[in-house]
Amino acid sequence: MLKEAAEAGFYQAPGTVDKFPRLQILSIAELLQGKKIDYPRYVIDATFKKAPKSRKPAEEQIPLGTGELEEPF
């Protein structure tokens, strides 16, 4: 696993000179000790893609009944 992670290469955030491993493997013990992945924390929106904004279609309003029971046929 470590060899494959090393072969994945590095990520360089736009406009920076720092490089970060694309794949990082942390053990449970390391996580419990507080170790975190290494990523560009100072570059805004560089590590996640934003979903496109969507617009809700106009909803149709369902007419309310008069309160009286109507025959189905």
pLDDT in tens, the chain (73 residues): 889 988 899 988 777 888 999 999 999 999 999 999 988 877 555 566 778 887 776 677 677 766 666 666 5
* Contacts of the segment 21-30: beta carbons below 8 A, 24+ positions apart: 25/1
Does residue 25 lie within any of the structural domains? yes
Predicted pLDDT at 50: 77
Does residue 40 lie within any of the structural domains? no
Q: Is 68 helix (H, G, I), strand (E, B) or coil?
A: coil
Domain count, the chain: 1
Predicted pLDDT at 71: 67
What is the domain range of residue 18? Answer: 2-32
Prediction pTM value: 0.49
